[in-house]
Amino acid sequence: MHGRLFEIERPLVMGILNATPDSFYAHSRVLDVGLIAKRAKEMVEQGADMLDVGACSTRPGAEVPTAEEELSRLNLALKAVRNAVGDSVVLSVDTFRANVARHCVEDFGVDIINDISAGDLDNEMLPVVAQLDVPYIAMHMRGTPSTMQQLTDYDGDVSAVVFEELKRKIDSIHQMGINDVIADLGFGFGKTLEQNYQLLACLEDFHALNVPLLVGVSRKSMIQKVLNCTADEALNGTTVINTISLMKGAHILRVHDVKAAVEAIDLVSFTRKQEKYSL
């Protein structure tokens, strides 16, 4: 962290804290300071390695708040989280705005910047992250949250195209002097239902990017549509997809439900320890 390369020796769990009134999963919305602190403590107690705090919903059709509103929400949320759990957990901020990223790192000691646009929505983001010297999560997305689902026409195999687009982006990020980069394939962002599962089926191919892979599918519509369920009913489906991802080598699971993700990691890890006994 902060200029030093870090290694991920086992899969990690990133708990989602949404300081927003309109995130797609209603139970993840925590605008009250007391509830934010309570949720942060619960996630850490359940085994979260990281907490990802966001104040700008990026679901399709969501109203994007002003930078001032985003910062106001984050000030309350990050202060509550720091007071609740101190430095006991890695803290990430989910933002595509460079000035917001700078504020969160400089004023609250945030450890990681998680950017859904990989720098495309704010040209100042990558220079600022390089200056701040913190790890950076680069997610694959086309367009903006309001236009991304109109941009799902990939020329050829979606996995090959997403791989090449992520590779070019990661190469440019490294050239900016940002050492620690984590790749997020962007499940649900500018992909059809079938394309999401095609990416999942080929997840192990993305290890060729030579960076850790973050998988964020928690309770998303790609699960709801296949199982004909709501976000409230999508925990079991989330655990199944997370388990598939772990078997394919995912390094970080970004989730609403920490306990279930930790248990999935424990079971997959225990299973892998037994592989030496196979015929």
Domain span holding position 152: 12-269
**Choice among 220, 272, 273, 276 that is catalytic:** 220
As beta bridge partners, residue 15 has 51, 255
Quick check: is 254 catalytic?
yes
**Choice among 142, 169, 219, 254 that is catalytic:** 254
In a domain, 84, yes or no: yes
What pLDDT, on a 0 to 100 scale, did the predictor assign at position 2? 46
Q: What is the 3-state secondary structure (H, E, C) of the chain?
A: CCCCCCCCCCCEEEEEEECCCCCCCHHHECCCHHHHHHHHHHHHHCCCCEEEEECCCCCCCCCCCCHHHHHHHHHHHHHHHHHHHCCCCEEEEECCCHHHHHHHHHHHCCCEEEECCCCCCCCCHHHHHHHHCCCEEEECCCCCCCCHHHCCCCCCCHHHHHHHHHHHHHHHHHHCCCCCEEEECCCCCCCCHHHHHHHHHCHHHHHHHCCCEEECCCCCHHHHHHHCCCHHHCHHHHHHHHHHHHHCCCCEEEECCHHHHHHHHHHHHHHHHCHHHCC
What pLDDT, on a 0 to 100 scale, did the predictor assign at position 207? 98
Place of tokens 């927003």: 20
In a domain, 6, yes or no: no
Tell me how far apart the alpha carbons of residues 93 and 190 are, in angstroms, rounded to a whole number. Answer: 22
Q: Tens digit of pLDDT for each residue in 11-61?
A: 999 999 988 765 544 454 566 788 889 999 999 999 999 999 998 877 666
Angle between helices 33-45 and 67-85 (to 10 degrees): 50
In a domain, 162, yes or no: yes
pTM, 2 dp: 0.92
List C-alpha distances in Å: 234 to 91, 142, 211, 225, 242: 26, 26, 29, 10, 12
In a domain, 75, yes or no: yes
Cβ pair 190, 141 in contact under 8 A: yes
In a domain, 277, yes or no: no
Ranges of residues in the chain with a pLDDT under 50 are 2-5, 24-26, 28
In a domain, 4, yes or no: no
Quick check: is 39 catalytic?
no
What pLDDT, on a 0 to 100 scale, did the predictor assign at position 23? 54
Tally of domains within the chain: 1
In a domain, 230, yes or no: yes
Cα 66 versus chain centre, distance: 22
What pLDDT, on a 0 to 100 scale, did the predictor assign at position 32? 76
In a domain, 264, yes or no: yes
Q: What is the CATH number of the domain that holds 55?
A: 3.20.20.20
Tell me how far apart the alpha carbons of residues 262 and 253 are, in angstroms, rounded to a whole number. Answer: 9
Tell me how far apart the alpha carbons of residues 229 and 123 are, in angstroms, rounded to a whole number. Answer: 39
Structure tokens of 48?
């979260």
What pLDDT, on a 0 to 100 scale, did the predictor assign at position 151? 59
